[in-house]
Amino acid sequence: MPRDAHTISRKQISENALKVLYRLNKSGFKAYLVGGGVRDLLLGIEPKDFDVVTNATPEEIKKLFRNCRVVGRRFRLAHIVFGRDVIEVATFRGHHGESNEKVSKANAEGRLLRDNVYGEIDEDAERRDFTVNALYYDISDYSIRSYGGGMTDLKAGTLRLIGDPETRYREDPVRMLRAVRFATKLNMGIETVTAAPIKQLAPLLKDIPAARMYEEVLKLFFAGKALANFELMQEYKLFAPLFPQVAALLKDDPKGTTMKMVQAIMKSTDQRVNEDKPVTPSFFYAALLWYPLRQRAEDIAVESGLTLYDAFFAAMGDVMEQQCQTISIPRRFSTPAKDIWQLQLRFDRSQGTRAFKLMEHPKFRAAYDLLLLRGEVEAGNVAKSAAWWQQFVEADETERLAIARSGTKSPNRNRNATQRRRRPRAPNADGSAATSAPKTSGTPKAKAAE
């Protein structure tokens, strides 16, 4: 497609990406803007990043850019660093052959463990995942190259995998998650042949490194399409390999409390993203794993005889450790998540004057938000506790003091105080006031003295 046949302008491309494209081109290499950046510009969406592809090898790229670092083992890439902006530059991928054993390797399931086979642009296009990502913007003449019917699928709103779907999913199972994410982000339908093997191959996600899955979860649930992605993942059985503890509860009761909580979390996350409010993995994982935590605590209490309160603390490490086997949650998020859990146990105990101290906790706000979600989902006593705290949090200082004082007056406490109050002594026979008799030892000699 020549320049006058498409809508992409250089003004829409970041200045740093253009610097990389121009320098590669002037140095005698082919240079293209590729993939999502081109796709989003054609759809009128502002790209989050711009990726470049070239026939220069990572070593040749490094010689051209002093601010370049070569990264990756599975895929060797060049990162051109401009402060916080990083332009990723890849070398054209080629097809595997028998002579490529030293630079390419796959496991028994077909997943690529190493893939540094270089080729030409036509081969690179065939190695792309979806046709709508096989779009190349040529900096030499500002034209666009479309492969595999990419432009046609883009206009039709169809997400189609390049090549045999089962083979491509086995090469990289994360492509199944990418299919879901692109379908919701771009408002596209997954083509029938592309969708067919996903349910069967979904368990392959268990073999993906947990650190990589952490990044994929951020893309799935922190981009304003959390609820839509969750529903599509459930349809294709992709949620269970990522969150097995949550999935087990969903399987036992598909329309129960856990499902309501997951849906509430996804809606809340989408709302915050759309309102440009911060979202944190700490809250997300604390909320998502709350019911698996409660279930595990109840199991520990039965098995060990611990109180449910103590069992909760024992269960926290178990639940987080099991989750980290599939998604590697950094400690900077897993530790605050445990703080949010602990505060749930303190809300009922802190209604009253203790509430002021609890509000000073650094994770109070996140824990309070989780309590409100639990109140919506569970009703009953949790809803009453959430209502009390909501009234307390939203009141001004004077009102809070009154609410806190009223919160200390429980029926049990007043009844106990009444029972401890001394009864007045009956008057003496002559009408004089009774005096306290001295205590006696209760021995016969003492009684005789009386």
Structural domains present in the chain? 1-156 (3.30.460.10)
Active site residues: 49, 51, 129
154-206 tens-digit pLDDT: 999 999 999 999 999 999 999 999 999 999 999 999 999 999 999 999 999 99
* Whether pLDDT at 149 is above 90: yes
Longest dimension (CA), the chain: 123
Residue 412, pLDDT above cutoff 60: no
Q: How many residues are listed for the chain in this entry? A: 450
Q: How confident is the model at residue 413 (pLDDT cuts 50, 70, 90)?
A: very low
Question: Radius of gyration over alpha carbons of the chain, in Å?
Answer: 32
Q: Which DSSP symbol is given to 130?
A: B
Query: For residues 54 and 30, is the Cβ–Cβ distance under 8 A?
Result: yes
Single-letter amino acid, residue 364 = F
pLDDT score for 75: 75
* Residue 148: pLDDT over 80: yes
DSSP labels for 298-333?
HHHHHHH---HHHHHHHHHHHHHHHHTTTS---HHH
Query: For the segment 311-322, what is each residue's pLDDT rounded down to a tens digit?
Result: 999 999 999 999
Q: What is the pTM of this model?
A: 0.81
Chain mean pLDDT for the chain: 87
